[in-house]
Structure formats: C-alpha cells, structure tokens
Amino acid sequence: MSIRTNEQWLHALASPGPEREAAINALRPILVSGLQRGLLGQVNTSAPEFESQAEDFVQEALLKIIDKLHTFAGRSKFTTWAHKITISVALTELRRKRWQDKSLDGIMRTDSGDYTPSFIADPLPQPDNAFARSEMLQKVEHHIAESLTDKQRAALIAVAIQEKTTTEVSKILDMKPNAVYKLLHDARLRLKQSLAEDGLTPADILAIFE
C-alpha cells in the first residue's frame, strides 16, 4: 500500500464518490490501530468488547474528520492530526461512560413503542418531577416521529437501543457502512436542530431526569 501525502488525503476525503470511500476504507484501520496504542493505560484494549467500541469510536471520528478537513493546517502528518481527533472522540465517550444511555441516542423508541431509555426508566421519579418527565418524553417522542425519516429512525434505534454495530445496521438496511455513518450523523443533527427549534437542548432534556 502506498503512503499518501497530506495533500492526497485531503483531496481524496474531500472528493465525493468512490475516491472518498477508498480513502475512508484506507484510513479506518490506521485509526483503529492508533486508538489501541493511544488508549493503552487508560482502557483494557485486550477486552473482547473493545474491538466493537473502537470501531464505533473510529466511525464517529471519521465523520468529524471529514467535517473538519478545512481546519487542517498541515503542520503535522494528516494521519497524526486524524489520530488526535479519534483519541479525543474516544476519551469523550469513555468519560461519559454511559454514552449509549445518557445522550439523545438513548431516547429512542423500544420494541414496546416506548421512548423511555433505561437511565430514565430505572430510577423512580419524585412526584413533583414525574409530570415534567412525562411532558419532556412526549416532546422528544414528537420530534423523533416528525423530524426523522424512517431509515434514520431505524438506524438510531438499532444502534442506541439494540446496541448493534454500524456494520450490522448496514446489513439490516442494505446500505454501505459509509452510508450508514452519514445516515446516523444526519439523524442526530436533524433531531438536535428540531429540538433546538422548540427551545430544547440535550442538556435541558437530561436535566429533567437527573
């Protein structure tokens, strides 16, 4: 495999279609390998579940890398810059620990038709807070139902509630993995924008359930 220059990485990742897909496929294993080294001493990288977690972290990082291409100043190797973003994404998610629960991704419809995530359902709410919780859940349910497409909703449910990897989701939805990354990214963005139009932020929602 030939080594790409900074300019070649930037050009390929900024190009739509097969060229970008090839660059992403080449960059992904580099970032996974770097993540394993970068998290040594902080995470048990030999644990069986780390591999799937690393894939998820890298998938999220790839979206950020593509979004931030215009900020790359060229003062280091492109892959070094990309590694820093990936490590930052991983550490942020690991610090939150319950990143699949305490986030908008956790407020999704379950098989029973309920949008209540586990971190909300488990603790018994105080009487004076029960109404506020119920009202907020109704608002979130409305925004999920109205702002997301069927595919976006299905992808988020699969990832957040059913804890499937994006590779598994790509098979379920018969989509390429890169298309699923974009689908999830767009779904999160659309949901946050819809909530913002109603004057709500993720912090506002989570505060009701603390």
CA–CA gap between residue 120 and residue 136 (Å, rounded): 11
Are 195 and 119 a contacting pair, CB within 8 Å?
A: no
pLDDT at 112 exceeding the cut of 90 = no
Report, as an integer, the average pLDDT of 178-184.
85
Domain finish residue from 67, 96, 125 = 96
N- to C-terminal Cα distance for the chain? 50
Same domain, 110 and 91: no
pLDDT at 201 exceeding the cut of 80 = no
Instruction: List, in sequence order, the alpha helices (H) in 44-117.
Output: 50-67, 78-96
Can you tell me which residue has the tokens 């497409």?
149
Q: What is the pLDDT of residues 30-69, one digit of tens each?
A: 998 888 788 766 666 666 667 777 888 898 899 889 988 9
Per-residue confidence (pLDDT) for residue 83, from 0 to 100: 92
Per-residue confidence (pLDDT) for residue 43, from 0 to 100: 66
Same domain, 123 and 78: no
Q: Which one-letter amino acid corresponds to residue 127?
A: P
Same domain, 117 and 186: yes
Higher-pLDDT residue of 116 and 174 is: 174
* pTM, full prediction: 0.48
- Go through the chain and tell me how many residues it has: 210
Report, as an integer, the average pLDDT of 176-193.
85
pLDDT class of 8 with cuts at 50, 70, 90: very high
Residues contacting residue 187 through CB under 8 Å, at least 6 positions apart: 148, 149, 152, 153, 155, 156
List the CATH number of the domain containing 117. 1.10.10.10
